[in-house]
A and B are shown apart, each in its own frame.
Chain A
Amino acid sequence: MSGVQVTNETIKELCDVAKLAVELAKKAGADDAEVLVRDGSELTAKVRLGEPELVQEAGSRALGLRVLRGGKRAVTYTSDLRREALEALCKETVTLADHAEPDEFARPPDPSLLATSIPELDLYDPKVAEVDAAWALKQAIAGEAAARKHDKRVTNSEGATWSRVLGATAFATSGGFVGGYRGSYASLVVEPLCDDTTDPSTPKKRNGYWWTASRFLAELEAAEAIGIEAARRTLATLGSKKVATQECPIVFDPEVARAIVGTVFSVANGSSFWRKSSYLVGKEGEVVASPLVTLVDDPLIPRAPGSRPFDGDGLPTRKNFVIDKGVLAPVLCDVYSARKLGRAQSTGSAGRGIGGNPGPTTSNLIMQPGSMSREALLRDTKRGLYVTQLMGFGFNPVTGDFSRGAQGFWIEDGALTFPVSEVTIAANFDEILKRIDAVADDLQLRSSTAAPTFRVSHMTLAGTSAAQP
């Protein structure tokens, strides 16, 4: 059975439901109402050791409603989209809002600012919807088999999963915005497992993964190539050990560089600014990073994973700088945070989920590539840690203190030598951004937050005690 195509009729149907709910909320006494409707379907096909382990297939719909009345707000959600159910929901939501206290900043955007046209960003591939469970299983089996065949030290597997998501989103507001769009996304991940008997007294298992993802079926990499790369990456970790505690250069692989870039946004958005929960408050227009760092948020890239034609306030989206050659740009805002900060306009960066208030979010958050190759960057690094995986959540946005678990490879004389695990890397985030002294040219836009390989001149690596051999 293949998936159900999301058509323009689906989008229109969802827009109609959203408009109806806005009307019903007004009728129930709301001054303003905003309604988000989502329709999604998923197919997940997981195999392990060559056999199907899970096939999950289903679709769902949900509606999120936000009402404002006398400056007071309430948010609710439901999966029951029948008219009588929506009527009841609207009445209940208006009643709920009465318990809140008025917030002068919470009013909707000026209707003249609302998006009037929806740009076509080519976010949906009908071929993704045509995939059936049998084909998806075949892809997963091929990926896993390639990993297991690659090397006899691949002794087990956590499996391989091919999955796809199809979705349609519609949004309507009492200010007059109505819009919708559809999207598709497909991915394959392969997770091999090796036995690590480098130290026979403490045998360990080592896992690893590799993946491909795209909105378009034809843009996925071949399953076999993913399996082989997954095996190669896992095998490379055999014999991982700690290194001594020290200060040293840290090179971030693109897989983890994007986590650092995501952390920048967590302290460079309107919400963290008005709450004063960011160490960057008051630093717009100032140097907050090395001049090699330019970070943009671009919602309008055709076919990109994080693109969106309008934002969660119903405003047109636009490309914004986050950091321009080391200088902090005006932070990304939704309408509410822009007002809280006393700014004339939002940056069109509102995100909104079912059953929540809008807030600033990223679309495609991209660190711009440098001019040197990854190889040249490594050659230029005498010694240090090349990080391929980060663990944990050690970041304090208020102070910028940063400490994460790390795994990767030791760099000696410009080359990767032995694998390293069970260490942490730490520094203040302000120092990390300012100490970026090399950025490679290997940017790939596989995920909505992306970065090339880059190097931080020095951080504290915590491992074994320096006194130990």
Chain B
Amino acid sequence: MTITTTLPPALRAPFAAGGASAIDAAIANKLLGIALEAGGDYADLYFEFRVSADYALEEEQIRTLGRGITLGLGVRVTKGDATGYAYCEDLAWEKMAHAARTAGQIAAGGGHAPVGIAALASVPTPSFYAVPTPSLVVPAQDKLALLRAADKAARAYDPRIVKVQASFAESIREVLLFTSDGRMATDIQPLMRFGVSAVAEQAGKRQGGSGGGGGRYGLDYFADAKRDAAAHGREAARVAIAMLDAREAPAGEMPVVLAPGDSGILLHEAVGHGLEADFNRKETSNYSGQLGKPVASPLCTVVDDATIESSRGAVNVDDEGYAGQRNVLIENGVLVGYMHDRLSAKHFGIKPTGNGRRESFRSMPLPRMTNTSLMGGKDNPEDIIKSVKRGIYAKRFSGGQVNISNGDFLFSLTESYLIEDGKLTAPLKGVNLIGNGPEVLRRVDMLGSDFELSDGIWTCGKDGQSVPVNVGTPTVRIASITVGGTQA
């Protein structure tokens, strides 16, 4: 099993074929054997190598450059629904064997004969992010030039811009996976993220704005003028200037129109997490037992799609060795599927959906989202805004949170406008929207034809593990939602 890549040796994992501590099927077999000695019924080995770098500009100067390398092996052993997990950062044989033995202890005292290990065969790997020249191989100067370009563009946007920060983060993650049911998988995952924040000041009032994007790209990402470094700088400045005139937001229930793209974060919080199958396997989700039932307005079709080319949430193979795929979760309002990892798929008696992801070799896989979207509808986006007498137009978000068990969610707006008589009028100060996921999805009553994927900036946290994801929506009207302003 080999990967063809143009990466220089310093960016290749030591465990790859030809590396300083190359791991082959024979070594993997021996480790899997040790892991299963105590009676476990499944084991996997997850080798991970990550090189990352970051660059920061502040006060018109390049402030800090950082670089880091992590390398390790995570060993998982399961026995029924129980998991034993151990890891090591050193690929010396004794260290790996010790981790395998420690993870295997979960099955100790079970009294079953050890299961066999299937012959290892490579899992076919699709390619959703072939990056010919990852940014890590490009000289630092090229990336610093991007930071300076964004800084300059933000300052040039308006003299009231008094402060700009810009950052660029990049990484390459190489994984190699072996499972006791006979699968071998490997993948190289590039990721980059560019961010700009700006502060505007006028008559003692200060407001901030941000812009950014990225994904599984090289620096070719910036070739598109709509998202080059200067464009992100101008966007940060635009938001900061627009917010200078922001007024206090209203409080109470009213119609909300979501702008396309970033608003997908509402979907991610309101329904996405509740459809991760671990919660449903344990019947701790609001969506447990709802398969085949209507859970949203018939306008809504929700899809989690790991196969979107170069998107921040794309995965060729998930962190359990299953190929990334497109999974329809809600079709015309009816719940048709969950996002699964190996454990939950086994529980529901279906095939894993390629959603088993982990932050690093230090953590066990969990069902996670990849690129989650509410698909486009038929309405003209302008008609949607025109239809609202008094409400909120939600454009940019800083994040959200959900309580899985009852579906209550909250998300924070950083750019929003009052809609009065079908027109966007005043910008509003930062405000939260709060609601209940299933209820909000039932209240979707207009859906635009202007579906957009967010530019890749989102990171999702669950059980202390962070993974890159993406979201998308068209313009959406929600008949009523609680807006947490101060003007009662």
CB of B412, distance to nearest CB on chain A (Å)? 5
B429 engages A422 (CB within 8 Å):
no
CB of A325, distance to nearest CB on chain B (Å)? 27
Q: Measured between alpha carbons, how far is A398 from B70 in the docked complex, in Å?
A: 36
A52 engages B412 (CB within 8 Å):
no
A401 engages B430 (CB within 8 Å):
yes
User: In the assembled complex, which residues on chain A have CB atoms less than 8 Å from the CB atom of B410?
Assistant: 391-392, 394, 404-405, 424
Stretch of A15-23, A108-116, A199-207, A311-319 at the chain-chain interface:
A199-207
Which has the most chain B C-beta neighbours within 10 Å: A101, A395, A468?
A101
B200 to A, closest residue via Cβ:
A398
Q: Measured between alpha carbons, how far is A78 from B72 in the docked complex, in Å?
A: 12
A205 engages B430 (CB within 8 Å):
no
A421 engages B105 (CB within 8 Å):
no
Number of B interface residues, CB 8 Å?
77
A54 to B, closest residue via Cβ:
B83
Checking A52, A79, A204, A422 against B482 with a beta-carbon cut-off of 8 angstroms, the contacting residue is A422
CB of A205, distance to nearest CB on chain B (Å)? 4
Contacts A54-B364, A55-B106: A392 and B400 contacting too (C-beta < 8 A)?
Answer: yes
B71 engages A396 (CB within 8 Å):
no
User: In the assembled complex, which residues on chain A have CB atoms less than 8 Å from the CB atom of B399?
Assistant: 392-393
Checking B69, B163, B253, B401 against A78 with a beta-carbon cut-off of 8 angstroms, the contacting residue is B69
CB of B335, distance to nearest CB on chain A (Å)? 16
Stretch of A24-32, A69-77, A173-181, A448-456 at the chain-chain interface:
A69-77
User: In the assembled complex, which residues on chain B have CB atoms less than 8 Å from the CB atom of A207?
Assistant: 284, 403-406
B482 engages A75 (CB within 8 Å):
no
Contact with A along B55-74 (1 / 0, CB 8 A): 00000011111111111100
CB of B336, distance to nearest CB on chain A (Å)? 21
User: In the assembled complex, which residues on chain A have CB atoms less than 8 Å from the CB atom of B288?
Assistant: 205
Contacts A205-B284, A207-B405: A399 and B64 contacting too (C-beta < 8 A)?
Answer: no
B85 engages A55 (CB within 8 Å):
yes
The size bracket of the interface on A is 35 or more
Contact with A along B251-286 (1 / 0, CB 8 A): 111100000000000000000000000000011111
A54 engages B85 (CB within 8 Å):
yes
A384-420 contacts to B (CB < 8 Å): 391-396, 398-399, 401, 403-405, 407
CB of B282, distance to nearest CB on chain A (Å)? 7
User: In the assembled complex, which residues on chain B have CB atoms less than 8 Å from the CB atom of A425?
Assistant: 484
B65 engages A99 (CB within 8 Å):
yes
B205 to A, closest residue via Cβ:
A399
A41-93 contacts to B (CB < 8 Å): 48, 51-58, 60-61, 73-80, 92-93
A156 engages B283 (CB within 8 Å):
yes
Q: Measured between alpha carbons, how far is A218 from B23 in the docked complex, in Å?
A: 45
CB of A387, distance to nearest CB on chain B (Å)? 13
B309-353 contacts to A (CB < 8 Å): none
A52 engages B106 (CB within 8 Å):
yes
The answer to the question of B299 belonging to the interface, with a C-beta cut-off of 8 Å to chain A, is no
Q: Measured between alpha carbons, how far is A460 from B205 in the docked complex, in Å?
A: 23
CB of B386, distance to nearest CB on chain A (Å)? 23
B483 engages A462 (CB within 8 Å):
yes
CB of B31, distance to nearest CB on chain A (Å)? 15
B68 engages A76 (CB within 8 Å):
yes
The answer to the question of A122 belonging to the interface, with a C-beta cut-off of 8 Å to chain B, is no
B71 engages A394 (CB within 8 Å):
no
A424 engages B482 (CB within 8 Å):
yes
Contacts A74-B66, A96-B67, A396-B429: A156 and B284 contacting too (C-beta < 8 A)?
Answer: yes
Contacts A58-B99, A422-B436: A103 and B364 contacting too (C-beta < 8 A)?
Answer: no
Stretch of A239-247, A298-306, A439-447 at the chain-chain interface:
A239-247
A207-225 contacts to B (CB < 8 Å): 207
A58 engages B66 (CB within 8 Å):
no
The answer to the question of B424 belonging to the interface, with a C-beta cut-off of 8 Å to chain A, is no
User: In the assembled complex, which residues on chain A have CB atoms less than 8 Å from the CB atom of B106?
Assistant: 52, 55
User: In the assembled complex, which residues on chain A have CB atoms less than 8 Å from the CB atom of B86?
Assistant: 56-58
Q: Measured between alpha carbons, how far is A404 from B106 in the docked complex, in Å?
A: 41
Contact with B along A241-271 (1 / 0, CB 8 A): 0100111000000000000000000000000
Q: Measured between alpha carbons, how far is A76 from B70 in the docked complex, in Å?
A: 11
Q: Measured between alpha carbons, how far is A196 from B205 in the docked complex, in Å?
A: 46
CB of B283, distance to nearest CB on chain A (Å)? 6
Which has the most chain A C-beta neighbours within 10 Å: B65, B205, B249, B404?
B65
The answer to the question of A193 belonging to the interface, with a C-beta cut-off of 8 Å to chain B, is yes
The answer to the question of B458 belonging to the interface, with a C-beta cut-off of 8 Å to chain A, is no
Contact with A along B80-117 (1 / 0, CB 8 A): 11111111110000000001001001100000000000
User: In the assembled complex, which residues on chain A have CB atoms less than 8 Å from the CB atom of B207?
Assistant: 398-399
A156 engages B87 (CB within 8 Å):
no
User: In the assembled complex, which residues on chain A have CB atoms less than 8 Å from the CB atom of B67?
Assistant: 74-76, 92-93, 96
Contacts A58-B102, A207-B284, A398-B206: A99 and B141 contacting too (C-beta < 8 A)?
Answer: yes
Checking A52, A392, A396, A423 against B208 with a beta-carbon cut-off of 8 angstroms, the contacting residue is A396
Which has the most chain A C-beta neighbours within 10 Å: B283, B362, B399, B434?
B434
A465 engages B82 (CB within 8 Å):
no
B285 to A, closest residue via Cβ:
A205
User: In the assembled complex, which residues on chain B have CB atoms less than 8 Å from the CB atom of A206?
Assistant: 405-406
Besides A405-B410, A464-B482, 9 other A-B contacts (C-beta < 8 A): A58-B86, A58-B88, A60-B362, A75-B65, A78-B68, A275-B163, A394-B431, A394-B484, A462-B482
Binding site for B on A (CB under 8 A): 1, 48, 51-58, 60-61, 73-80, 92-93, 96-97, 99-101, 103, 133, 156, 158, 193, 196, 202, 204-207, 242, 245-247, 275-277, 355-357, 391-396, 398-399, 401, 403-405, 407, 421-428, 460-466, 468
Binding site for A on B (CB under 8 A): 61-72, 80-89, 99, 102, 105-106, 140-141, 144, 163, 199, 205-208, 249, 251-254, 282-286, 288, 362, 364, 398-401, 403-412, 429-432, 434-436, 439, 482-488
